Amino acid sequence: MAKKKKQSFTLPEGLTIGTQGSAVTTLQNYLKAFGYLQVDNPAEDSLGAMRAIGLETANDGQFDEITENALKKFQAFYGLPPTGRVDPDTLNLIQMPRCGTPDNPDRLFSVESSPQLAEFVASGNRWSKVNVTYSFQNFTGDLTQGVIIANIREAFFRWSNVCNLTFTETGANGDIIISFATGNHGDGFPFDGPGNVLAHAFYPPPGGGSLAGDLHFDDAETWTTAIPPPAGGTDFLTVAIHEIGHSLGLDHSAVTGAIMFAFYGGPKQNLHSDDIAGISSIYGARTAKATLSDTSVATPGFCSFNNQGFISWTGTNQQRNLNVMATSNLRVWHSKVILGETSLSGPSICVFKNRLVIAWRGVSNNQINVMSSGDGITWSNKVTLGETTFFRPALGVFNNRLVIAWTGTDAQRRLNIIQSTNGTAWTNKITLGDTSVDGPELCTLGSNLLLTWTGTDTQRRLNVMTFNGTNFFNKVTLGENSFTAPSIENINGRIVLGWTGTDSQRRLNVLFSTNGINFFGKQTFGDNSFFGPTVGGFNATPVIAWTGTDNARSLNTMTF
């Protein structure tokens, strides 16, 4: 069915004190809806808790002094002369489509009275964690499901790019639930048809109540992503960025150029300095570290594929299922897949012949398994090798061959390596004389492969050795120590070696090299893990991924 033509908020010009009638009631209803007069039944109004407490009640249909003061407050909030009457500028603003979330003018005015404070307005509500999830309840027919999902991801990225929050898309029951609805949709704040109110969102706990964070779009609108929008169309991304601002705890801003300005005047897809100051005041400025909502029992894997980053891990659920999840920016995570495979160690992940490859240690028999995917979602071609390990197997690629390295289950815990040209048939197993207390790691350096591991000597020193496809040489034993497996990666021609130190805090460390022999530039981070980290590259930037020491064992990534 075709959608109705967009309607403006119908109100005559010239209403002033002393005027009576239905037009005054319409104005009063507008002022009630957006935070300037007391609503009729605040206890039943789901957005009542989002309005300022103690608003006055006007006489219905009478333009009394209370109505005049409320209108003046509305005018002052949006920088109009506070005439207290419906003059042309006021009417023009009222007739613009806008967000249905109420304004909070008293908070703004208290901020403006303190010159040291910024112009933004924070609601006083915030998420108590840095990793927030979101999910979709339904979609609209105006846009394809894929377009909606992509634009919501982009909207979350706008905010995560400037504050210390990470967002993860989940299949259901997210902290923020996104839906499309028309009319009375069960939240006590019905939509009004085309035009006028476009969408509304609820603040984080505690102010948002049972609907905290939820975001509702009016499906009576005509949503578009075309720039410029066609006649009657509303830019979906602009409204999504704005509403997510409320879901994170921001009020409306009086700054016309801000995303959090309540009224829609066309596409506005970039955050204003006022928006950035506001969100940063709640959650802090963006840091290099991102803490994910997901948790792991061991070391995660990380690699880049088709302009996206992919993290793999063994979940903390009872079955210890393997998981894979994607990101385009290390801040917004999506397309999580829980595989039917399980492990007691973390998996490794890499790219071979334009496919993602994951390797893991099986639960029941400790056998090494390999599987691949063209998109990170659908996995196939599982191969179970006859080899066994008690630790995470390592994946590497060089000379057009896929390589697996592992620590054997023999008494000496000797290192082993095996190769494949297609990922299914494996040959040329080599067993080294070197031994390890955990799994090894691999990376490419020119036409050679580098192998790193933690030795079984009493100092648990790190080792690096070069492999040319047949022989191993240039073994280097470093003065650094670890109780767990190190990680190694070639990022823009520079080798990065990462490990968890043996200090009491188990801090993460990295070293650098250009030849796999001489290492320099040690960095020790303040972050900790009981397991080894994984070093990877994303958009030419070094990334370290690890399982945290918090009670939940949260996954973390950090650029450095």
pTM for the whole thing?
Answer: 0.90
Q: What was the pLDDT predicted at 120?
A: 64
From 221, 243, 341, 480, the catalytic residue: 243
CA distance 500 to 528: 7
- Domain residues of the chain, as ranges? 22-95, 131-283, 352-559
User: pLDDT of 80-118, one tens digit each?
Assistant: 999 999 999 999 999 999 999 999 887 655 555 444 445
DSSP track, 216-266: EEETTSEEE--SSPPTTEEEHHHHHHHHHHHHHTB--BS-TTSTTBSB--S
Taking domain 22-95, whether its CATH number is 1.10.101 is answered by yes
Assess contact for 168 and 336: CB atoms under 8 A. yes
Say how many C-beta atoms besides its own lie within 10 A of residue 43's C-beta: 7
Q: Three-state DSSP class for 430?
A: strand
Q: What was the pLDDT predicted at 41?
A: 72
User: Using CB atoms within 10 A of its CB, is residue 145 exposed (0-12), middle (13-18) or buried (19+)?
Assistant: exposed
CA distance 69 to 362: 71
Six token digits for residue 48: 């009542």
Confidence band (pLDDT; 50, 70, 90) for 53? Answer: low
Share of the chain above pLDDT 90, in %: 87
Q: What is the 3-state secondary structure (H, E, C) of 534-546?
A: EEEEECCEEEEEE
Contacts of 379 (CB under 8 A, 6+ apart): 324, 337, 339, 358, 371, 372, 373
Q: What was the pLDDT predicted at 134?
A: 98
| 397 bridge partner residues | 402
56 is catalytic: no
Q: Tell me, which fold does domain 352-559 have in CATH? A: Neuraminidase (2.120.10)
Mean pLDDT for the stretch of residues 310-314: 98
User: pLDDT of 115-167, one tens digit each?
Assistant: 444 556 677 789 999 999 999 999 999 999 999 999 999 999 999 999 999 99
Right CATH number for 131-283 from 3.30.365.10, 3.40.50.150, 3.40.390.10, 3.30.70.3420?
3.40.390.10
Confidence band (pLDDT; 50, 70, 90) for 3? Answer: low
User: pLDDT of 453-482, one tens digit each?
Assistant: 999 999 999 999 999 988 999 999 999 999
